[in-house]
Structure 1
Amino acid sequence: MSYGSLQSRENTEGERSLRSEITGRALVGTFQIIGSPTVTEVLALSGADIIVPDAEHAAFDLPILEQLVRAGDVRGASVVIRVPGLGNDLSRALDTGAAGVIVPRVESAADAEAIVRATRFPPVGARGIGPARGTSYGLDIPTYRERANDDLLVVAMVETRAGLDAVDDIVAVDGIDVILIGPADLASSLGSPIGSTEHTDAVSRILDTALAAGRQVGIHCADAESAAAYRDRGMHMLLIGTDVSFLSSAAVADLRGLPGDHTSA
């Protein structure tokens, strides 16, 4: 099977994987910063297709990540872990049973190739296998080994000037499924505000290059309105805000929206 472009596939139990599902429709989700399985469940019950525990920035360790993956599984949402970067974190994140991984700050074809080696089993990559949750603690290694290369979603973030310069090479690497644009870091790296001409042109270049190469494209966006606009441009992975931003915006609206003077105790 060629990994140059995604193909719809059902696993042997008749369940569509996240990797195949994202080819057919835009999936909506968010980043999770709060390390609680309850938060994961609430996000799933609220309709999130994808929940992304942010192990790059939040205070998550592997046991917490496994609990968040388990909570997503219970409520029918796919948990895709954003790892801190290249390295052993990739394979260990997938060992939790996560539906996929997101790798930040991918800046070259060599980075993308290293991601594929760490996340795909031979002959596509060089990932090792062991008795972790993904393999039912070693009780069903053959099934996981057979399905993983086809089912697991591998996402590379392009969010720096170096990544932008190398985007043609990055999207050409077999085994990378989704190119995820990080607009805030991209703006920071470019030294241009979000929404500026330079920034907007950079986002368009990443989007167009990835789609032309047969990759799916995603982006982190502030609200549903901007997510809808990106969906209409062909993006299929739309991550809106964070659990913290949802909590904060709701709290501000409700707590400060009470009529009358409530500024003093």
Structure 2
Amino acid sequence: MKNPLKEKLEKGKSVLGSFLGIYSPPLVEMIGYAGYDFVVIDDEHGAFSPTELEDMIRTADSVDLVPIVRVSYDQSSIQKALDRGALGIQVPMINTKEEAEEAVQKAKFPPRGRRGAAYSHRAAHYGKEKGKNFLDESNEEILVIPHIETLEAAENFHEIINVEGIDFPFIGTTDLSVNMGYKEEGPNHPEVRRVVERIYMEAKERDIKIGTVANDATGANKAYDKGASYVGIVAITVIANALGSVLQSTNK
């Protein structure tokens, strides 16, 4: 088991992916053929059955697209995403050191965690991979990415990122702005920007990678300029904007 996304990040490269919250294997293929590095299958806000989640992960593998799952709040969500072959998880609403530790515990096999071990699932190639090699490689290669998306999380940032087994944090700017009470202004509110800038600054000082979300190329480039290495655009937003742009540009 190798995770090319983790390898790129460790080499200091920036990566670009796409969030996808609808069941559409063909769209996963298109994202892969376009040359993106990863897809975040959004099981927090999206609507996926367990079988559909596995289909999306399998499709990502077929086009050399690293499958990451933004897990739901279900207690078994991390286990099921990883057993189906996800090479990373994004965990929403991590607010404390203890919650970050809990996420790591669910994602790692003993002795590093308490993920349930089995070899009959897709991640272990239905029994072809097993034993120490599979367990150790899974612990090493799978990315654990906590979301920093509340003021509490931002205030506990240094404790969260110091948890052993956490790879890097992901800033959820929309949730952060709502949590801070700026529902109208959103992420562009000066107070939200101030908190986000502080997170970027602390990450830079500690030489920690940062992930975040963007709506388009301009937003992605701004994130890279601030210091992000891992950026996910929202596929549905890109598609909706493109459809609207075509309509506005026609002589209808």
Q: Give 1:74's aligned residue.
A: 62
Describe the shift of the 1:179–1:129 C-alpha distance in structure 2 as closer, same or farther (beyond 3 A): same
Residues 172 and 213, structure 1, Cα contact 8 Å, conserved in 2: no
Q: Distance in 1 between matches of 2:121 and 2:28?
A: 21
SS of the residue aligned with 2:110?
coil
Say whether residues 1:22 and 2:9 are aligned partners: yes
SS of the residue aligned with 1:219?
strand
Q: Distance in 2 between matches of 1:33 and 1:53?
A: 6
Say whether residues 1:34 and 2:27 are aligned partners: no
Q: Which deviates more from structure 2 when the two are superposed, residues 103-112 or residues 248-257?
A: 248-257
Q: Give 1:180's aligned residue.
A: 170
1:211-257 CA distance string (max 9 Å, x none): 444432111122211211221232111111x2211221221222332
1:44-94 CA distance string (max 9 Å, x none): 111211101110011112111111111111001111000013621111111
Residues 18 and 153, structure 1, Cα contact 8 Å, conserved in 2: no
Residues 212 and 232, structure 2, Cα contact 8 Å, conserved in 1: yes
Say whether residues 1:149 and 2:136 are aligned partners: no
Residues 155 and 180, structure 1, Cα contact 8 Å, conserved in 2: yes
Q: TM-score, normalised by structure 2?
A: 0.92
Q: Which deviates more from structure 2 when the two are superposed, residues 137-146 or residues 120-129?
A: 137-146
Residues 4 and 66, structure 2, Cα contact 8 Å, conserved in 1: no
Q: Which runs of 5+ in 1 are unaligned?
A: 1-10
Residues 17 and 151, structure 1, Cα contact 8 Å, conserved in 2: no
1:12-64 CA distance string (max 9 Å, x none): xxx55322322221110111022011111111111211101110011112111
Q: Distance in 2 between matches of 1:226 and 1:51?
A: 18
CA offset at residue 207 of structure 1? 2.1
Say whether residues 1:224 and 2:217 are aligned partners: yes
Q: Distance in 1 between matches of 2:30 and 2:15?
A: 17
Percent identical among aligned pairs is: 29
Q: Distance in 2 between matches of 1:121 and 1:18?
A: 21
Q: Give 1:140's aligned residue.
A: 129
Runs of 4+ in 1 over 4 A off after TM superposition: none
Q: Give 2:242's aligned residue.
A: 250
Number of aligned residue pairs: give it. 246
Residues 18 and 235, structure 2, Cα contact 8 Å, conserved in 1: yes
CA offset at residue 110 of structure 1? 0.4
Describe the shift of the 1:16–1:167 C-alpha distance in structure 2 as closer, same or farther (beyond 3 A): closer
Residues 101 and 155, structure 1, Cα contact 8 Å, conserved in 2: yes
Q: Which deviates more from structure 2 when the two are superposed, residues 129-138 or residues 111-120?
A: 129-138
In the TM superposition, 1:46-57 aligns within 5 A as 46-57=34-45
Describe the shift of the 1:116–1:212 C-alpha distance in structure 2 as closer, same or farther (beyond 3 A): farther
Residues 100 and 152, structure 1, Cα contact 8 Å, conserved in 2: yes
Q: Give 2:99's aligned residue.
A: 111
Q: Distance in 2 between matches of 1:53 and 1:197?
A: 31
The letter of the residue matching 1:140 is E
Residues 3 and 66, structure 2, Cα contact 8 Å, conserved in 1: no
Say whether residues 1:204 and 2:197 are aligned partners: yes
More helix by share: 2
Q: TM-score, normalised by structure 1?
A: 0.87
Q: Distance in 2 between matches of 1:206 and 1:86?
A: 28
Root-mean-square deviation over aligned CA pairs: 1.6
Q: Distance in 1 between matches of 2:88 and 2:114?
A: 16
Describe the shift of the 1:200–1:100 C-alpha distance in structure 2 as closer, same or farther (beyond 3 A): same
Residues 90 and 144, structure 2, Cα contact 8 Å, conserved in 1: yes
Describe the shift of the 1:16–1:97 C-alpha distance in structure 2 as closer, same or farther (beyond 3 A): closer
The letter of the residue matching 2:244 is V
SS of the residue aligned with 1:136?
helix
Residues 106 and 156, structure 1, Cα contact 8 Å, conserved in 2: yes
CA offset at residue 138 of structure 1? 2.1
Q: Distance in 1 between matches of 2:115 and 2:77?
A: 12
